[in-house]
Amino acid sequence: MAAGFFISKSVAIVAVVLGLGAAATIIALSVVYAQEKNKATDLGTTNPSTSTTTATTASIAPTTTAAHDVWDKWRLPTTLMPEFYEVTLQPFLTPDANNMYIFKGNSSVVFVCMEATDLILIHSKNLNYTLQGSFHASLQAVGGSSVPPITRTWLQPTTQYLVVQLGSPLQQGQRYRLFSIFTGELADDLAGFYRSEYVDESGTKVVATTQMQAADARKAFPCFDEPAMKANFTVTLIHPSDHEAISNMPIRSTQQQQIDGNTWNITEFETTPRMSTYLLAFIVSQFTYMHNTSEDVLIRIWGRPAAITEGQGEYALQVTGPILNFFERHYNTAYPLPKSDQVGLPDFNAGAMENWGLVTYRENSLLFDAAYSSISNKERVVTVIAHELAHQWFGNLVTLRWWNDLWLNEGFASYVEYLGADSAEPSWNIKDLMVLNEVYTVMATDSLTTSHPLSFSEDEINTPAEISEVFDSIAYSKGASVLRMLSDFLSEDVFKEGLQSYLHTFAYGNTVYTDLWVHLEQAVQRNGLQLPGTISDIMDRWTLQMGFPLVTVNTLNGSVSQNHFLLDRSSVVERPSVFNYTWIVPITWMTPENPGERQWLTSVSETKPEFKVSSPNWLLLNLNVSGYFRVNYNQENWDQLLNQLSTDHEAIPVINRAQIIDDAFNLARAHYVDVTLALNTTRFLSREIQYMPWQAALNNLAYFKLMFDRSEVFGVMTKYIQQQVTPLFIHYKAATSNWTTTPSGLMDQYSEINAISTACSYGIAECQDLARDYFQQWQQNTSRNPIPPNLRSSIYCSIVAMGGEEAWDFIWDRFKEAPVVSEADKLRTALTCSPLPWILNRYLQYTLDSSKIRKQDATSTINSIASNVVGQPLAWDFIRGNWRKIFTQYGGGSFSFSRLISSVTQRFSTEFELQQLEQFKADNQDIGFGSGTRALEQALERTRTNINWVNENQQKVLAWFQGETGSSSPANQISS
């Protein structure tokens, strides 16, 4: 799954149990189940709007049986293993008499008894069952042998089980079939089998679609809903004849049938390969598609008909084939399925989901329109497609046994998405962006004591909320970073050799992360590669302990040492590590003369004669930031590096220019170097036009902005940034002929965007005038937007920031009519740039109204408001005042809570704010924080760190900015 903003809610299913649909339909679909269905008390022969009730009040679980605690455990017992499911579902795309959208279904699962037991536990959530006799399900033996009688069935809502108690044990080695008939709500909660909507010229259209990961297949049909419980699936969908039905596999057969006077299609799909429940998918919609083939694999890009007609799927179609071919070569394994469907959904929780053969996306991660979409939208599309297609092998063909090893699944896809995207767009140098997007982004979290290791023990992750919490930046970005480091020191060829062996060995099966280490170690041995330890020796230190090392080198004597890097050096690490927070560190390096041979730091401190360098030479460690660590130098070497940047910055590789800035700022935050040294690394930027060093500086100065934009420091800081960015602004004004043309390369376009966004947001008059001119032109002709797509995010924000209520209303109107979701996203985010508190408060209220802001976008909108200095206290008050409502509406398992808590607290830097945060934690202990629990602890830790940092550095930072700008008074007095 591609990372995104995750929103979900728990919706209570009404007590009424609705019939399954016309008996004729069931008979036509499920002849094999005639025996079970004859036992059913009600097969449902009525229209859903007039369905009668079949009592399915759940029995209370018995309290005296010895097996009492089995159904109170979150993990399934291993007594039963599923082999084959047949699932029939009928979604109703119009509301019933209770104004609810529902689906009806029946399913059977054939399982083998691995160990004699008189209990069947199968996952079920928010499903209402049509009783068969007195029971929620019926059971028969496969192969004609005797079957134990069912004595009781009941639903266990807390642990989400349907429990079937038998009169005698199932026999080991025997196969059985469990059959059930059920109804569920086709809710708009973005989980399980759910409802998405969009509006076209003929009105509102309803889509029935799925999101099963991590634990929501059980909302669609009863199943053994754990990743190791792989099985084959045959899906049948009953759907209106003017709708298309798609699933993981191609269609096997379609027939039409009249049910209650309406024409329905009964579409059966080919049986899937052996796979996990979380990868199952099916969609009923009026979407259309564009298609091509790549080496006999059918590729289809699906979406709203208007979007497909306008060609918004063309870019995705263009890159999918090359990316599939790349991964076939990379894995040395053919794509395992006959087709690859990719669907852009109007309402979707994550960025995308790797369902095998039917990948689902947010529209902004699949659809692209050159007239509206920016280069970053294009990059988003190609990297998310590459991420999801990488999973078709790594994750789908070979699947991790349990969610504690999620990091390997998502970290791997987050690494190779850059390789796949690079194969489709080789001129972009996109692999370089990993350093900014993954490595440095996640280090901010991984330098806290409240971080966590990549891999958990299996018993640490049990509940759906705990599973959701694992889908964090550590799993995705740190996972990607350490795998990139591993590939670098092994060489890509050796890494691929081990990877291919792993995939071939475990195809259609399940693994733990150490299985990959074994196959990589075999590749190391075959190639005679010399390493300071086994793969397991080296990598377990990076996966089983949290954090990362700071490597400190002294060029006067060549000494080099390591220690656990923490932003707050006084904080106490409570999580123990068997490795005592030391790592085996691969160190690449160079001097002005040449790059040296990779060195290894295998103990706390060593002496490396190669690292002894005398003035005026300098030493640079961690070339291209291939290693997951930070670097500190003795003052003499820092001085030489700064001197090199001031005289000829291009003598240092571009990624390492970004590294010098990022390491220095983080070392300053952790009190390893003085804050003025970090600020000194930004002096050369007035001569720098490359994207990566500028972005590293802006990322770090953003922390200064958060800490100081409510103090006098910000005025003179603004003056300094204006001073530094003006040459970049002038460069791109000339290079683009006054903003009328677009630079060619990806990095060049990103650098132009930085020039505009920084100049406008820091008040450079010429940039703000440009925004006003664009706004006036647009107002005169709303059908013609004069702003180049790359510049829209920045210019829209400036328009809203400067234009008051009139501009806000204008942008809101454009948002409501935006024809492309990437355009709507830019407009929606720009609306958070207003400096007017009443407008921002009103906008916060809109996030609770899905007719104004889609549920999938609610938390990202709140986060954007919180990033506005005026909006931050409003967003904090809003979250505190509405936490109970938000939490119950979106559900404790929602992936978005961690981002929400991080965003609204990111400016906290006073004792009063710390007290408020602690009070918030105390006030809401009764309902809790779900997947945001760890984020809340991290927010408390960050706030304490921020308080200390501001107290120690505010006056020093003020003096430095004053010295650089020749100011003796705050710069907020200057006109802009």
DSSP letters for 546-567: -S-EEEEEETTTTEEEEEE--S
Tell me the average pLDDT of the chain.
90
Give yes or no for residue 107 having a pLDDT over 60. yes
Say how far apart CA 935 and CA 347 lie, in whole Å: 25
Side-by-side strand order, sheet with 192-200:
192-200, 203-211, 282-285, 244-247
Containing H/E element for 631? strand 630-633
Report, as an integer, the average pLDDT of 286-301: 96
CA triplet 788, 790, 794: central angle to 5 degrees?
95
Summarised one tens digit per residue, pLDDT across range 422-447 is: 999 999 999 999 999 999 999 999 99
Report, as an integer, the average pLDDT of 368-379: 92
Q: In 3-state terms, what secondary structure has residue 721?
A: helix
Q: In 3-state terms, what secondary structure has residue 234?
A: strand
Give yes or no for residue 682 having a pLDDT over 60. yes
Say how far apart CA 53 and CA 445 lie, in whole Å: 52
Of 388, 425, 466, 469, which one is the catalytic site residue? Answer: 388
Give yes or no for residue 79 having a pLDDT over 70. yes
Say how far apart CA 369 and CA 381 lie, in whole Å: 11
Give yes or no for residue 892 having a pLDDT over 70. no
**More confident: 22 or 908:** 908
Say how far apart CA 305 and CA 117 lie, in whole Å: 52
pLDDT of residue 303: 97
Instruction: Give me 255's structure tokens.
Output: 């027939």
Report, as an integer, the average pLDDT of 926-938: 83
Instruction: Give me 95's structure tokens.
Output: 């509301």
**More confident: 613 or 890:** 613
Q: pLDDT tier at 822 (50, 70, 90 boundaries)?
A: confident
Summarised one tens digit per residue, pLDDT across range 716-744 is: 999 999 999 999 999 999 999 999 999 99
Instruction: Give me 357's structure tokens.
Output: 């053969």
Q: pLDDT tier at 16 (50, 70, 90 boundaries)?
A: very low
For the chain, the C-alpha Rg in angstroms (whole number) is 29
Say how far apart CA 729 and CA 748 lie, in whole Å: 13
Lowest mean pLDDT segment, chosen from 48-57, 186-195, 398-407 = 48-57
Most distant CA atoms of the chain, gap in Å: 93
DSSP string, 125-160: -SEEE--BTTBS-EEEETTS---PPEEEEEEETTTT
What pTM was estimated for this model as a whole? Answer: 0.88
**More confident: 693 or 42:** 693
Give yes or no for residue 21 having a pLDDT over 70. no
Q: pLDDT tier at 888 (50, 70, 90 boundaries)?
A: confident
Conformational region of residue 861, where left means phi above 0, alpha means psi within -120 to 50, and beta covers everything else: alpha
pLDDT of residue 45: 29
Say how far apart CA 526 and CA 494 lie, in whole Å: 9
Q: pLDDT tier at 465 (50, 70, 90 boundaries)?
A: confident
Summarised one tens digit per residue, pLDDT across range 759-788 is: 999 999 999 999 999 999 999 999 999 999
Give yes or no for residue 810 having a pLDDT over 60. yes
pLDDT of residue 54: 39
Lowest mean pLDDT segment, chosen from 22-26, 214-218, 810-814 = 22-26
Report, as an integer, the average pLDDT of 139-146: 89
Give yes or no for residue 891 having a pLDDT over 70. no
Containing H/E element for 252? strand 251-259
Say how far apart CA 197 and CA 462 lie, in whole Å: 33
Give yes or no for residue 144 having a pLDDT over 50. yes
Report, as an integer, the average pLDDT of 24-28: 33
**More confident: 469 or 747:** 747
Query: 34: Cβ–Cβ under 8 A, 6 or more apart, which residues?
Result: 27
For residues 383, 389, 391 and 396, what is the CA-based torsion angle, rounded to 10 degrees? 160
pLDDT of residue 443: 97
Say how far apart CA 701 and CA 904 lie, in whole Å: 19
Q: In 3-state terms, what secondary structure has residue 965?
A: helix
Q: Which residue has 């005592």 as its token pair?
A: 580
Q: pLDDT tier at 899 (50, 70, 90 boundaries)?
A: confident
DSSP string, 53-120: P---PPPPPPSSSTTGGGGGSSSPPSSEEEEEEEEEEEE-SS--TTS--EEEEEEEEEEEESS-EEEE
Report, as an integer, the average pLDDT of 248-270: 95
Report, as an integer, the average pLDDT of 595-620: 95
Q: pLDDT tier at 68 (50, 70, 90 boundaries)?
A: low
Report, as an integer, the average pLDDT of 946-969: 91
User: Buried b vs exposed e over 751-773: b needs ≥16 C-beta within 10 Å?
Assistant: bbbbbbbbbbbbbbeebbebbbe
In the residue annotation, 388 being an active-site residue is answered as yes
Give yes or no for residue 412 having a pLDDT over 50. yes
The rounded Cα 356 to chain-centroid distance in angstroms is 18
Residue 790: name the closest of 364, 310, 372 by CA.
372
Query: 530: Cβ–Cβ under 8 A, 6 or more apart, which residues?
Result: none
Q: Which long-range contacts (CB under 8 A, 24 or more apart) does 788-791 make?
A: 788/739, 788/742, 789/370, 789/371, 789/372, 789/373, 789/374, 789/375, 789/377, 790/374, 790/375, 790/376, 790/742, 790/749, 790/752, 790/753, 791/739, 791/752, 791/753, 791/756
Give yes or no for residue 325 having a pLDDT over 90. yes
Residues linked to residue 505 through DSSP beta bridges, in sequence order? none
Residues linked to residue 210 through DSSP beta bridges, in sequence order? 193
pLDDT above 90 coverage of the chain, percent: 80
**More confident: 524 or 44:** 524
β-pairing verdict for 251-259 and 288-294: unpaired
pLDDT of residue 30: 35
Say how far apart CA 153 and CA 59 lie, in whole Å: 7
pLDDT of residue 974: 36
Say how far apart CA 549 and CA 373 lie, in whole Å: 40
pLDDT of residue 925: 86
Summarised one tens digit per residue, pLDDT across range 260-293 is: 889 999 999 999 999 999 999 999 999 999 999 9
Give yes or no for residue 471 having a pLDDT over 80. yes
Q: Which residue has 């795998």 as its token pair?
A: 483
Q: In 3-state terms, what secondary structure has residue 161?
A: strand
pLDDT of residue 88: 98
CA triplet 725, 427, 433: central angle to 5 degrees?
55
Summarised one tens digit per residue, pLDDT across range 175-213 is: 999 999 999 999 988 899 999 999 898 899 999 999 999
The full length of the chain comes to 976
Instruction: Give me 773's structure tokens.
Output: 């001119």
Query: 838: Cβ–Cβ under 8 A, 6 or more apart, which residues?
Result: none
Q: pLDDT tier at 969 (50, 70, 90 boundaries)?
A: low
CA triplet 895, 901, 907: central angle to 5 degrees?
145
Give yes or no for residue 820 having a pLDDT over 70. yes
DSSP structure class, residue 398 = B
pLDDT of residue 33: 33
Q: Which residue has 């008894």 as its token pair?
A: 113
pLDDT of residue 856: 79
Query: 336: Cβ–Cβ under 8 A, 6 or more apart, which residues?
Result: 273, 356, 392, 393, 396, 397, 507
Residue 512: name the closest of 464, 480, 544, 473 by CA.
544
Summarised one tens digit per residue, pLDDT across range 622-668 is: 999 999 999 999 999 999 999 999 999 999 999 999 999 999 999 99
The rounded Cα 564 to chain-centroid distance in angstroms is 27
pLDDT of residue 59: 52
Spatial contact of 729 and 767, defined as CB atoms under 8 Å apart: yes
Conformational region of residue 891, where left means phi above 0, alpha means psi within -120 to 50, and beta covers everything else: left
Give yes or no for residue 821 having a pLDDT over 90. no
Instruction: Give me 433's structure tokens.
Output: 């962006």
Residue 255: name the closest of 270, 237, 282 by CA.
237
Say how far apart CA 740 and CA 734 lie, in whole Å: 10
pLDDT above 70 coverage of the chain, percent: 92
Say how far apart CA 193 and CA 92 lie, in whole Å: 12
pLDDT of residue 679: 98
